[in-house]
Amino acid sequence: MLSPTATSIHSFELNTSTLAIGETQLRAADVGLRFGGLQALDGVDLNVRQGDIHAVIGPNGAGKTSLLNCISGFYRPRAGSLEFRNRGRAHDLVHLSVPNIARLGVARSFQNLELFKHMTVLDNLMLGRHSHMRHELLSSLVWLGPARRQEARQRALVEEVIDFLRLQPARHRQVGSLAYGLQKRVELGRALCMQPALLLLDEPLAGMNAEEKDWMVRHILDLNEVARLTVLIIEHDMSVIMDISHRITVLNFGRVIADGNAAGVSAAPAVIDAYLGVVDS
C-alpha cells in the first residue's frame, strides 16, 4: 500500500525557499556565545546549502542546541554573524526577534517538546499556520464571513499535513494525552504547517523505538527529496546521520572540529577522539 508522501501535500507550497539547489542558504560566521563563565559557542562557522540534509553532531554539551537557538533567535550571539538567504535578500538573524525569524521561514522542533499541551492536535497544527493567516479583530468577532472562510481554507492545508504524518485518529485529542512518539510527530507537523524554507530539527528521533525511528526518517527523507526542503538536524543516532546527511558539522566544547560529508567526517581523527570510537559506518 502506498503511503502518502510529501507529494500528497499539493494545496500549498511545502518548501518556500526561493533559492536554487546547492546555493548557500544559511551562513554562520565566527559565532560566539557565552553564558556567564561558560563559552557555549566559540568561533563557529556553518554553511548550510539549499536542499541539503545538514547534520550537527557532537557529544552532550557541545553547543548543538545553543547553535539552533541562536539561529531561531532565542539567544543572541556575542560575536560573529548569522545570515539567512530567502526571498532575494540576506537577513541578519542576530538582530531579529524570534517571531520575525519564524516568519522568514525558519521552522523548528525542540529537544524538550514545546507543544501546547492543553490544545488539540488540530489547534497545534493550525498555530503553525499563524503567520500565513490574516488576523483581523473585527472579522474575528463576527466569525461568519471572511474569518470562517479563512479557517476552512487553512483547515484544508492542515488536513494534508495530518494525512502526511498519519495523525488522523489523534486529530481532536489533547496533545498532552498522546504517546511520546505521536507528540514528536505533532511537533514536526506544526513546523511543516509553517511552510518553512529551512527546517531545524532538534533530536527528532530521541526516545523512539526502531520502528518509529524508521518511519520518521523515511518522512524526513521524503520532505528533503520530494519537496527539496533544507533540513538542519541534531541527532545522536550515528547510523542514521551517516546514512542520510549530505553534510555533517561536528561540534565539541562549542567549537567546530570537523565539517564535510559522512565519509570525511567519520575518518577525521579529531572526531574519533571526541567520540572514542563510537562512530560506526
Where along the sequence are the contacts to other proteins (CB under 8 A)?
65, 69, 72-74, 97-99, 102-103, 107-108, 110-112, 114-119, 123, 126-131, 133, 135, 137, 140-143, 145, 147-153, 155-156, 159, 171-172, 190, 194
- Angle between helical axes of 121-128 and 146-164 (0-180°, round to 10): 110
Record the cell numbers describing residue 170, joined without a space.
Answer: 489523534
Task: State the minimum distance, in angstroms, from the CB of residue 273 to other proteins.
Answer: 28
Comparing CB distances to other proteins, the nearer of 19 and 191 is 191
Evaluate whether 106 touches 114 at the Cβ level (below 8 Å).
no
Comparing CB distances to other proteins, the nearer of 25 and 66 is 66
Distance from C-alpha of 268 to C-alpha of 264, rounded to nearest angstrom? 6
Comparing CB distances to other proteins, the nearer of 25 and 69 is 69
Task: State the minimum distance, in angstroms, from the CB of residue 281 to other proteins.
Answer: 32
Task: State the minimum distance, in angstroms, from the CB of residue 91 to other proteins.
Answer: 14
Distance, first Cα to last Cα, the chain: 31
By residue count, the chain amounts to 281
Cβ atoms < 10 Å from Cβ of 190: 26
Give CA separation, 24 vs 17, 21, 179, 216, 255, in Å.
11, 9, 37, 26, 21
Evaluate whether 232 touches 48 at the Cβ level (below 8 Å).
yes
Evaluate whether 48 touches 233 at the Cβ level (below 8 Å).
no
The continuous run of DSSP H or E covering 186 comes out as helix 180-193
Task: State the minimum distance, in angstroms, from the CB of residue 146 to other proteins.
Answer: 10
Task: State the minimum distance, in angstroms, from the CB of residue 8 to other proteins.
Answer: 12
Measure the CA angle with vertex 165, ends 67 and 11; round to 5°: 95
Task: State the minimum distance, in angstroms, from the CB of residue 136 to other proteins.
Answer: 9
